Homo-oligomer: A and B are copies of this chain.
Amino acid sequence: MTRDNWGRWGPDDQRGALNHVTPETTAAAARLVRDGVVVSLAQPLSPKTPIPAHRAGIQHFLGRDGGDYAAGARRPGGFQFAEDTVVMPLHIGTHVDALCHAWYDDQLYNGFPGSGTRSTSGAAHCGIDRMGPIATRGVLLDIAALRGGPLSGGASIGRTELERAARAAGVEPRPGDVVLIRTGWFESVGHARGVSFNEEPGIDAEAGLWLAERGVSVVGADNFAIEAIPFPAGTVFPVHQRLIRDYGIPLLEGLVLKPLADTGRHEFLFAASPLPVVGGTGSPISPMAIL
C-alpha cells in the first residue's frame, strides 16, 4: 500500500477511501448486529450549537407556525401546518467533510484542480453529493477510557496509542472501516457556548497515516477537527492535508460518542448518509451505530 491513493480507483474517482466499502464489508457489518439497539452519534442542531468564530451558527426560521393560527389564521379544511427554513453552514455540529473541503498545491484528492470549486457552482469535483450513503463496520477506539478521562486541549494521540486502544477493544482496523476516536472533548467542553476552538485533543499525522494505511474509509472523532490543535510547529491541519487530499478519506467531526462508549460495544454496524448538496464541501450528518 502506498501512502497515496491517487489513481488507485481510476482517474475519475471522486469517492476515495469509501471505495474500500464493498457489498461484502457491508454484509459482514450487518452480521455484527446482535441486540438491535440503535445509538445516535449526532449533536442537536440549534442556534446554540457551538461553532468556530469564523463561521456563523445556524439560524432557524418558522415561516408558518402555531402562532399564526393562534392569531387567527384559518386554512381550508381545518388543516394546520408549520414549516421552517434554516440558514446553516454545512460544517456545523456533527458533520462530514467532503473530499473537496481541504487541499494543498492547488490540487484536490486524485489531482482535480482546486480552482474547480467556485462561488458560482460549488465544487465541480469531489463534492459531498459524490459520497453517497455509508453502511459498514464502525470501530470505536476509546482514548478517553484508555487515559481514564477526557483529554485536554492540545493533547496529541499518536499511532501507538491508537494501536493500544484497538487491542483494548479487541478489534483491528481494516479496509472499509469507519473508525471513531473518542477523546472526551465534546462531552467535557465541546457542547457549551463560548467553547474555545483554538485547541482540542486529537490525533497526530502519524496516527492518521496509520489508519490510512490500514485502508479505513472514514475517520471520525468527538472533537471539531479530528487532529490535535495547536498543530505541530510549521504545520497547518496536517491530518486534513494528508487524509482528505492524499488518501481521499472523509473526516467525520463533532460526533457524540459517550452514549456509544457506555454500551461497551467496540464494533457495530455504522450507517450514515450526508445531504447530497450538489457541489457541497460537507454536510451535517446524523450517524447511527446499530448494535
Contact = CB atoms under 8 A, between A and B. Distances in A.
A148 interface: no
A237 interface: yes
Contact of A236 (B26, B71, B76, B273): B76
Nearest to A65: B117
Contacts of A26: 33, 36-38, 290
Contacts of A47: 56
Interface string A109-146: 00001111111101100000100111100000000000
Contact of A103 (B33, B63, B80, B129): B80
Nearest to A61: B61
Which size bracket describes the interface of A in this complex? Answer: 35 or more
Contact of A278 (B46, B87, B278): B46
Contacts of A69: 106, 114-115
Contacts of A22: 36
Given A23-B35, A57-B56, A284-B275, A115 B66 contact: yes
Interface string A10-43: 0000000000001111111111011111101011
A119 B56 contact: no
Nearest to A43: B276
Interface stretch (A88-96, A159-167, A203-211, A212-220): A88-96
Contacts of A34: 27
A9 interface: no
A44 B132 CA distance: 10
A62 B119 contact: yes
A73 interface: yes
23 contacts: A26-B33, A42-B273, A45-B276, A56-B85, A60-B280, A61-B62, A61-B119, A62-B281, A66-B113, A67-B119, A68-B118, A75-B236, A76-B236, A83-B91, A84-B122, A84-B280, A84-B282, A86-B88, A135-B271, A271-B288, A271-B290, A275-B275, A275-B286
